Chain A
């Protein structure tokens, strides 16, 4: 009796052991692609790796972080990169996530591309400097009835280098009925405050990430975010500046303006902020306070739907209607716009009319 139990145990253990050993050896031997190189952006960085793992993992092991939400399962389609050489044929997992144009441009899901030979890829420059951060939710503060300031303390790595105006990508956690998603938010804190990140978020009805942040995210909870990304930043010129924002578009401009104050950057500047009613405005005292601190700065909040008989003394109307009264000739100016695409488009066409050159308009558009 005991003998037969023992034989059974030994047999089972031996079988599984032998089979797994066989598989491990086979994997080492069959799937050994030897050393391969990944050439990023035509030689800007060349990475030597052992072939066999996915492009996404090979890159992140070498500190190039391609955004990814699903952890390489091929279901989020965030990790798209352009593979110009050596990616192998398109797999059936990738195909549904790529448009015809992307397929023509050799765009691939980097989690589904295995490095089997020397590979050449193209990624946006900003991905070079991006890092993956672990952070802890430090504060949630309502700024208006639907806009919140979210503060995070960085844990690992514990410092971030960025320029005012850049954004990060925040990963939401799963909650009932919603998967984890990645969304971009501009940083509203100062570059000098390296150990923390602040974001300004407006509640989007049915928005997966904002609903998570407003209703499910708790103070003290750990989150992951990556960044910094983006090239929206103050240009290094003497030209006077026009800032235009609406809603949570405040974030990068709030960072830029305070950065200007901190670094003593003096230039003539206007800030037009669009809201529907008085309750949409936030940081109002601080911004009017900046008028005194900055050398030549004017804050112009514009309300489009404020009741006529209210005590509001400021501007009423849409920014494009108000602009010409402050800046009849915009030829010398640079413009920085952040907000909904409707706001940006309306303001851009007005600014062109006022003589501002297209290449002097910088924007950070929300989708």
Chain B
């Protein structure tokens, strides 16, 4: 059965979003962006702050990096410079976003403010851009991949934050408290996410 072009295009974009969020979850399947998860996931609301910021930045930077890669780096045959180019672009973009947020909404700036600089050094963002160019995506699909990956990371950190809040009061062996138990939680959650693998392939 040949689906018509319109719905095929839509479902392809949607599928990319879902697969990026679940089957190839950037945090739980690829284990990227771990340091900020360990650092910030103590509470659900801070997790939410960082998660939302990551969704926004992954989406926007995969769009920008898609354009830069396909319309600058490939024509100039400078693909091997993608790593450093992406890093510079992500860092500047985060700075810019920080300024705009500060000017537009102080409340949002205070809620996100300390998380935005953290994102600059979040390897998940760079990872998303690098994975994205490895696939034959169109611009919209690249955006969808970025948004999906960001959403997957958001979902994961929210879940971990929720679990950490719940076990906050529990008596843990001294050596396990903090990052130790968090890594174990992430491991178990990653096992659960393995269940999604193979459901959608991109």
Contact = CB atoms under 8 A, between A and B. Distances in A.
Do A and B pair up? The answer is yes
B110 A91 contact: yes
Contact of A15 (B88, B96, B102): B88
A4 B77 contact: yes
Interface in A21-40: 22-23, 26-27, 30-31
Q: Is the interface of B mostly helix, strand, loop or mixed?
A: helix
B75 to A, nearest CB: 11
Interface string B15-43: 00000000000000000000000000000
A22 B110 contact: no
B161 to A, nearest CB: 16
A11 interface: yes
A16 B76 CA distance: 17
A92 interface: yes
Interface stretch (B78-86, B134-142, B166-174, B190-198): B78-86
Interface residues of A, number: 22
Given A23-B92, A93-B114, A12 B99 contact: no
A245 to B, nearest CB: 46
A15 B78 contact: no
Contacts of A90: 110
Interface in A1-28: 4, 7-8, 11-12, 15-16, 19-20, 22-23, 26-27
A19 B89 contact: yes
Interface in B152-200: none
Contacts of B111: 92
B10 interface: no
B92 A8 contact: no
B114 A31 contact: no
A283 to B, nearest CB: 52
A22 B78 CA distance: 23
A89 interface: yes
Contact of A89 (B72, B92, B103, B106): B106
A120 B85 CA distance: 45
Nearest to A88: B106
Main secondary structure of the interface of A (DSSP, over half): helix
Contacts of A4: 77
A250 B166 CA distance: 55
Nearest to A27: B99
Contacts of B95: 23
B100 interface: yes
A283 B85 CA distance: 69
A51 B202 CA distance: 50
Nearest to B81: A8
A20 B93 CA distance: 11
Contacts of A11: 72, 76, 78, 81
A92 B96 CA distance: 21
Which size class do B's interface residues fall under?
20 to 34
A11 B68 CA distance: 12
Contact of B81 (A12, A31, A116): A12
B89 A7 contact: no
A91 B103 contact: no
Given A23-B92, A26-B96, A15 B103 contact: no
Contacts of B92: 19-20, 22-23
Contact of B103 (A23, A30, A93): A30
B88 A89 contact: no
B1 interface: no
Interface in A58-100: 88-93
Contacts of A93: 114
Contacts of B77: 4, 7
Given A7-B78, A11-B78, A91-B110, A16 B96 contact: no
B111 to A, nearest CB: 8
A3 to B, nearest CB: 10
B107 interface: yes
Nearest to B107: A89
Given A8-B78, A30-B100, A93-B114, 16 more contacts: A7-B78, A8-B81, A11-B78, A11-B81, A15-B85, A15-B88, A19-B88, A23-B96, A26-B99, A30-B103, A31-B103, A89-B107, A91-B110, A91-B113, A92-B111, A116-B106
7 contacts: A8-B78, A8-B81, A15-B85, A19-B92, A22-B96, A23-B96, A91-B114
Shortest 8 CB-CB distances between A and B: which pairs? A19-B92, A30-B99, A91-B110, A30-B103, A88-B106, A89-B110, A23-B95, A11-B78
